[in-house]
Structure 1
Amino acid sequence: MAPGPHSTAEPAAGGNGIRPFRVLAVADSDSYLKFACATLESLGEGWEREVLLVRSPILPTLEQIQAATAGTFLAGKAPRVIAASGLKSALAGADVVLAAATGPVVEEIFTQASRMPHRPALLSALPGVAFPATRKALNYRALGDAFITHSHAECRAFSDLADAMGLPQRILVSRLPFLASPGRPEPQQVPLRSVVFAPQAKVPVERDQRVAILQALAALARRRPELSVRVKLRAWAGEPQTHLEQYPFDQLWSDLVAARAVAGHELQFCTGPMSAQLTPAAAMVTVSSTAALEALDAGLPVLILDDFGLSEEMLNKVFDGSGLVGNLEDMVAGRFRHPDHRWLRDNYFHVQSAPLDGLLLNFAERARAGKLATDPDRLAAVQRRKMRSKLRTVLPSPALNLVRRLRNARRLPA
Structure 2
Amino acid sequence: MTMSTDRSPGLRVVAIADADSFVKWSAALIDSAPDVDPHLVLVQTPLVVSVAQEHAALAGTGIRPEAVTRLAYDALAGWLSADRPDVVVVGGRGPFVRLIMRQIDRVTPRPVVVSGLPGMSIPAQRGAALYRRYSDLMVVHSRREQRAFAQLADRLGLDMRPSLATLPFARPTRGAGGGTDLVFAAQAIVPHEPAERSRLAGILRSAALADPTRRVVVKLRSRPELGEAETHFERTGLTDLLRDRPDNLVLSHEPMSRALETAEGLVTISSTAAIEAMAMGVPVIALTTFGVSKTHLNTVFVGSGVQGEADDVIARRFRHPHPGWLADNYFHDPSESTWWSDVERLVDQRRRGVLVPRYVPAARGGALHDAWQRKAVLGAEDRSVLGSIALAVGAPLVRGILSARTMLGHRGAESWSDDGSDITVTPARYQDPVVRPRRSVLATVID
1:49 aligns with 2:38: yes
Counterpart of 1:68 (choices 57, 61, 67) is 57
1:372 aligned partner = 355
Q: Is the 8 A contact 2:136 2:358 kept in 1?
A: no
1:202 aligns with 2:189: yes
Partners in 1 of 2:103 and 2:128 — Cα distance?
18
How far 1:374 moved relative to its partner?
2.6
1:244 aligns with 2:233: yes
Q: Which runs of 5+ in 1 are unaligned?
A: 15-19, 405-414
1:13 aligns with 2:4: no
Point out the more displaced range, 99-108 or 115-124.
115-124
Point out the more displaced range, 227-236 or 275-284.
275-284
Q: Is the 8 A contact 1:69 1:76 kept in 2?
A: no
Residues 331, 109 of structure 1: CA spacing in aligned structure 2 closer, same or farther, 3 A cutoff?
same
Q: Is the 8 A contact 1:29 1:241 kept in 2?
A: yes
Q: Normalising by structure 1, report the TM-score.
A: 0.84
Report the residue type matching 2:391 in the other structure. Answer: V
How far 1:26 moved relative to its partner?
0.3
2:222 aligned partner = 235
Secondary structure of 1:277's partner?
helix
Counterpart of 1:169 (choices 157, 160, 167) is 160
Percent identical residues? 35
| 1:271-290 equivalences in 2 (<5 Å) | 271-279=253-261, 281-290=263-272
Cα deviation, 1:320-344, whole Å, max 9, x if unaligned, reads: 1111111111111111111111111
Counterpart of 1:30 (choices 20, 24, 34) is 20
Q: Which runs of 5+ in 2 are unaligned?
A: 374-389, 402-447
Partners in 2 of 1:398 and 1:146 — Cα distance?
32
Partners in 2 of 1:150 and 1:170 — Cα distance?
13
How far 1:400 moved relative to its partner?
6.5
Give the root-mean-square deviation of aligned CA atoms: 2.7
Partners in 1 of 2:11 and 2:236 — Cα distance?
44
| 1:343-382 equivalences in 2 (<5 Å) | 343-353=325-335, 354-374=337-357, 379-380=360-361
How far 1:38 moved relative to its partner?
0.8
Secondary structure of 1:284's partner?
strand
Counterpart of 1:330 (choices 312, 333, 336) is 312
How far 1:114 moved relative to its partner?
3.0
Q: Normalising by structure 2, report the TM-score.
A: 0.78
| 1:15-414 equivalences in 2 (<5 Å) | 20-44=10-34, 46-77=35-66, 79-92=68-81, 93-181=84-172, 190=178, 193-238=180-225, 239-254=228-243, 257=244, 262=245, 264-279=246-261, 281-353=263-335, 354-374=337-357, 379-380=360-361, 383-384=363-364, 388=369, 390=371, 393-394=390-391, 396=393
Secondary structure of 1:49's partner?
strand
Report the residue type matching 1:82 in the other structure. Answer: L
Partners in 1 of 2:214 and 2:127 — Cα distance?
42
How far 1:77 moved relative to its partner?
4.5
Cα deviation, 1:18-49, whole Å, max 9, x if unaligned, reads: xx4211110011111111111111114x2221
How far 1:267 moved relative to its partner?
0.4
Paired residues in the alignment total: 377
Residues 302, 363 of structure 1: CA spacing in aligned structure 2 closer, same or farther, 3 A cutoff?
same
Larger radius of gyration: 1
Q: Is the 8 A contact 2:30 2:38 kept in 1?
A: yes
Q: Is the 8 A contact 1:152 1:348 kept in 2?
A: yes
How far 1:251 moved relative to its partner?
2.0
Report the residue type matching 2:101 in the other structure. Answer: F
Residues 57, 202 of structure 1: CA spacing in aligned structure 2 closer, same or farther, 3 A cutoff?
same
Residues 116, 304 of structure 1: CA spacing in aligned structure 2 closer, same or farther, 3 A cutoff?
same
